[in-house]
Homo-oligomer: A and B are copies of this chain.
Amino acid sequence: MKRKALPKRIHAKQKRLSPDDRRKEFVAKATEFFADEGFGGGTRDLARRLGVTQPLLYRYFPSKGDLIKEVYRTVYLEPLDTGWEKLLCDRSRPIRDRLQEFYRAYTAVIFTRKWLRIYLYSGLKGLDINRWYVGVVRDKILTRIIRECRHEAGLPAHTRPTASELEMAWVFHSGIFYYGVRKYIYESPVLEDKQQMISDALDVFLAGFERVFGSTVDTGRAPVPAAGRAALSL
C-alpha cells in the first residue's frame, strides 16, 4: 500500500499501525480466534491470523494470559450497561412491551457466535468474571423482572423476590439464552423468527407466572392454586 522503497528483505506486509489501533485490532481478532479455537489455541496460529509474527504479540501483551484477560473484559463489559435497567422499570409502558424490547436488545448483543463461545469457555474455566456476570444478570435483570411481574399481578413489589420466583425467572431467562446456544454453538436449526420465540416465551412466562405466583386481585382464583403447586404424587 504505502511503501517508500523496497526493503532488502522481502517482508510481505509491514503495516506499522499506531500502537492503540494495533492493540485494539489484536484484542478484537484474538476474541474471534479464541472463540473459534478455545483458549488452548496457540499464539502462533493467532499471529498468523493477524498477519503478523508471533513475538509481536508480546510487545503488546506481557503474556498470553493477559491477552485473554483483555478479551474477557471487552466481551463481558463492552456491551453491558445500555440503560436496560431503566427500560425494565419504566411503568409507563406495559410490562410485556418492556420485556419484549429488553430481550430483543439483550439477545441482539449476546446472540453471536463470538459472545456465546467466549462466555461458555470462560464459564467452564470457573472464572471470577463469569460468576460476577451471573450475579449481574440476577441482580440487575431478573430481580427487576420479578418486581415488575409482581407489580403487574398486584403483589407487593418492594420486597426481595423469593427463591422460587427467582428460580422461575432463571428458567425463563435461560430458556431464551439457550436459543442462542442452540443456534450458534450447536448450529442446530431453530425457529427462524427470533422475535416470535421471545414473544411466545414471554406469553408463556407471564401467563404462567401470574397463575402460579399471582394473587387473587384480577384473576379471582386462589392465591396459590392447589393444583398448581401440588407436591409430587409419586
Contact = CB atoms under 8 A, between A and B. Distances in A.
Interface of A: 38, 40, 96-97, 100-101, 104, 117, 120-121, 123-124, 126, 130-131, 134-135, 163-164, 166-168, 170-179, 181-182, 185-188, 190-192, 195-197, 199-201, 203-209, 211-212, 228-234
- Copies of this chain present: 2
A209 to B, nearest CB: 6
A166 B188 contact: no
A76 to B, nearest CB: 14
B178 A178 contact: yes
B208 A191 contact: no
18 contacts: A38-B38, A38-B40, A38-B124, A101-B232, A123-B181, A123-B186, A131-B187, A134-B186, A163-B192, A167-B197, A171-B175, A171-B178, A175-B175, A199-B232, A204-B204, A204-B205, A205-B208, A207-B211
Given A134-B182, A170-B182, A177-B178, A203 B188 contact: no
Given A100-B232, A117-B124, A205-B208, 15 more contacts: A120-B120, A123-B186, A131-B188, A134-B186, A164-B197, A167-B190, A171-B176, A172-B175, A173-B175, A174-B177, A178-B178, A203-B228, A204-B209, A204-B212, A206-B208
A215 to B, nearest CB: 15
Which among A166, A197, A212, A231 has the greatest number of chain B C-beta atoms within 10 A? A212
